Structure 1
Amino acid sequence: MIDPSEGPVALTRQLCDIPSVSGDERAIADAVERLLAERAPHLSVHRDGDTIVARTELGRARRVAIAGHLDTVPINDNLPVRDIVDDVSGEAMIWGRGTVDMKAGVAVQLALAVELAEPAVDVTWIWYDHEEVSSALSGLGRAMRNAPELFEADFAILGEPTNGRIEGGCNGTLRARVHYAGKRAHSARAWMGVNAIHRAGAALSKLAAFEPARIVVDGLEYREGLNAVRIDGGVAGNVIPDDCSIEVNYRFAPSRTPEEAADVVRVFFDDADSVEIVDSAAGARPGLDAPLAQGFAAAVGGDPTAKLGWTDVSRFSALGIPAVNFGPGDPLLAHADDERVPVAQIDAGYAGLRAWLERGA
């Protein structure tokens, strides 16, 4: 059972202590659905697998979608959560898996969903499964395909950890497999073959020397990255390898399309025998030129920055909905075994989002 009556900080602890590793979100989704049925009669609730969409239907002129994922990466002796005091800052914190990514953000959203029966804008609250795994499994993507009408909105907020500041848009991401061919031979007579691993060496040196581009998009600076993340090759300890493949990950600015990003990778590896695009996902422009985004930025304060990773704001952007990331927690601690979120950031995020929703966004 979860109970938001003691506020979003207590609710964060409760949510984190429900194990919800990707693929095992049923228990937490059941708890969220049960809470909404018992405490939020002002919301129409829809469920798609372990994704829950709860909407106000007040006939307001504008609608905001506010979303967060329910799953976490695997637990590593870091549940149940516990309260700690940071050794350096002296801040009160909640330590444990999911505190940063992103149960604190979910707690803020869930508390407000229950409490705000008549926000000044209509709100679509979304909690979804399978964010921490392949994008093909995304509960948000699945629900958007199954019932796109539930996701119509003028602006969207994703509660990913941002240290309580707005991060606009997100980088795109692409994975490619770069192949180098050779010719097998006995290693005692290496001159009779062509070593595919050696052929790939020049590409690895080129990658090591790569300087990431910094690209300004709508006033925010995005930093790109191109890195080898896996390498495969070799037949046996006495055989010259005839094949070597390097898997690379390209993080590209949202000013590029996935097709343009693929062209960048192909040109970079122009000496390869083939470049196979394994998967890709578009980025999202900052979205801060939308009137609702400007009002939100003014309400929560601080200077917006670029989201350098990929997040599900991209899915909203693909629907033509401007979207930003905003949530408690340091994104550098996401997935770390010592995840910990400042209590003050949870309270501040809750207060800022509540005030904005109550006064007319």
Structure 2
Amino acid sequence: MDLDHGGSVRRCSRSRDARETSCGGRPCAGWRAGTHTESPSSSADRPRDRGPAAAPVIEPIALARKLIDIPSPTGDERAMGEFLERELAQLGLSVRRQAVERDRFNVFASAAGRPRVIINSHIDTVPPWFASREDNDKIYGRGACDTKGVIAAMIAAGERLLARGVRDFAFLFVVGEETDSIGAKAANVEFANLGSEYVLVGEPTESKFARASKGKKMISAINAIEATDWGSHDVLGKSTVNVGVVRGGEKPNIVPASAECELMFRVVDDHEVVRAKLERLVSRFGGRITMTRGNAPQFMVVPQGAPSTIVAFNTDVAYLGNLGKPLLFGPGSILDAHGANEFVLKRDLIAAIDTYCDTVTGLCQNSIQTFF
């Protein structure tokens, strides 16, 4: 296996892992228009000559490490976007930038005029960045599971789809998911009339399709917070709240004139219901609240017979409603994201290629059933 990050990302000459099976429309082995700017290209970016039954060229483990080794903290995703432009152009796709703000842009790549399925993930990560490494079982590094490993699996699946003649899909890689979802919001407006029917979003869901995700509400509350019942749901369970930041005072022996805390709610009710409860609460103490952002709980499409789960984290799904029915799936666990030892299991990344390939094929060919 070639793990030389300085060279091309290519497969080794050894036989393929048994888990890397052909997709070809069979059920997966794991679960039986707007204005754009063309991206720059050069002779080095010419599509690979694949032929009708070309063997895979992309080596997903090496690709994942190359992606990890490009720092892309939220707000500084340019280098990552430029790398993806080149990589997707090598697949023979038409690659375009969607301007978001200043020098930030989403990357859109398609093989057909009207893609039926959009394959999406985010290219930003939380700080701090640290480089990739690997052992026999895992790939480590910032973004390994959230979501550089996901993107590597998606691109490898795209290569297989094209080799098998499946072309009515597109890639959409966006900026800003870790903070305000600015990239997803921009894409949702610009591609609203694209005509896509499904958007397959990649996040670390432990290799299960997410049926639902809790909503999000971020608030700065001044002077008082008291525990209360924030709501419950038959599927999602209870709303939760985390006191993430507390500020106030000058010295430990002086009662502060004021205090402030920042809360993250994972809500199962409409976030305006949570806001109203909190406003009533803090008004008793002369406090005030400021909501910085929020969205309601989300419910996703799941392929019939696929393993599924409920996730307690927020994603861009809430902001991509114009692009089609949402699916949410990816290798890795959110419990391993954002930490100093972030990783994704190699076997999960490889298996995800099959799942992405089979899911997109089934959706494009109407050969799999889905349910909410």
TM-score scaled to structure 2, two decimals?
Answer: 0.73
Specify which of 118, 121, 132 is matched with residue 65 of structure 1: 118
Letter in 1 for 2:85: E
2:180/2:293 contact within 8 Å kept? no
Q: 2:284 aligns with which of 267, 271, 287?
A: 271
Find 1:50's aligned residue among 86, 101, 105: 105
Corresponding position of 1:143: 187
Q: Deviations over 1:212-264 (max 9, x none)?
A: 65412xxx3244112333333336677654333333322201xx333222112
Q: Identity of counterpart residues, as a percentage? A: 23
Which residue of structure 2 aligns with residue 10 of structure 1?
62
Q: Does the 8 Å contact 1:169/1:314 carry over to 2?
A: no
1:334–1:221 CA distance, 2 compared to 1 (3 A) = same
CA change 1:6–1:224 in 2 (3 A) is same
In the alignment, residue 66 of structure 1 is paired with which amino acid? I
Query: Cα gap change, 1:355/1:243 in structure 2, threshold over 3 Å: closer, same or farther?
Result: closer
Contact residue 166 and residue 297 of structure 1 kept, 8 A: no
Task: Write the distance in 1 (CA, Å) between the matches of 2:62 and 2:335.
Answer: 23
Runs of 4+ in 1 over 6 A off after TM superposition: none
CA contact (8 A) 1:3 1:35 kept: no
Aligned residue in 1 for 2:261: 246
CA-atom RMSD, angstroms?
2.8
Alignment of 1:106-185 (within 5 A): 106-117=151-162, 122-132=168-178, 134-135=179-180, 138-145=182-189, 147-149=190-192, 152-180=195-223
- Residue matched to 1:195: none
Structural mapping, 1:273-288, within 5 Å = 273-288=286-301
Match of 2:77 in 1: 25
1:262 to 2:275 alignment:
yes
Contact 2:218–2:294 (8 Å) recurs in 1: no
Give, in whole Å, the separation in 1 of the partners of 2:323 and 2:62. 35
Q: Is the 8 A contact 1:222 1:306 kept in 2?
A: no
In 1, the alpha carbon distance for the partners of 2:158 and 2:315 equals: 22
Q: What SS class does the counterpart of residue 351 from structure 1 fall into?
A: helix
Q: Distance in 1 between matches of 2:69 and 2:277?
A: 44
- Quote the Cα distance in structure 2 between the aligned partners of 1:46 and 1:113: 19
Q: Deviations over 1:245-300 (max 9, x none)?
A: 333322201xx333222112223435231332331221343233xxxx4xx353xx
User: Secondary structure in 2 aligned to 1:74?
Assistant: coil
State the Cα deviation string for residues 329-348 of structure 1 (Å, max 9, x = none).
11100011111111111111
Shift, 1:164, TM fit: 0.8
Mapped partners of 1:59, 1:73: distance in 2: 33
- Give the Cα–Cα distance (whole angstroms) in 2 for the partners of residues 59 and 245 of structure 1: 49
Note closer, same or farther for the CA distance 1:38–1:176 as it changes in structure 2 (3 Å cut): closer
CA distance in 1, matches of 2:127, 2:188: 26
- Say which one has the larger Rg: 1
| 1:306 matches 2:303 | no
Gap change, CA 1:230 and 1:2, over 3 Å in 2: same
The answer to whether structure 1 residue 322 and structure 2 residue 325 are counterparts is yes
Query: Aligned pair in 2 of structure 1 residues 223, 260: CA closer, same or farther (>3 Å)?
Result: same
Q: 1:49-95 CA deviation, whole Å, 9 max, x = no partner? A: 331011232667xx22211111222245x41x22224xxxxxx1112
**Shift in Å at residue 20 of structure 1?**
2.0
The answer to whether the Cα contact below 8 Å between 2:97 and 2:105 also exists between their aligned partners in 1 is no
**Structure 2 spans left out of the alignment, 5+ residues:** 1-6, 11-56
1:83 maps to 2:138: no
Deviation at 1:152, TM superposition (A): 4.5
Give 1:358's match in structure 2, choosing from 345, 358, 361. Answer: 361
Structure 2 SS opposite 1:350: helix
Question: Residue in 1 aligned with 2:33?
Answer: none
How many aligned positions are there?
307
Instruction: Please tell me whether the aligned partners of residues 97 and 335 of structure 1 are also in contact (alpha carbons under 8 angstroms).
Output: yes
Instruction: Select the structure that is richer in helix.
Output: 1
Q: Once structures 1 and 2 are overlaid, which stretch shifts more, 171-180 or 149-158? A: 149-158
Match of 1:193 in 2: none
| 1:227 is aligned to 2:228 | no
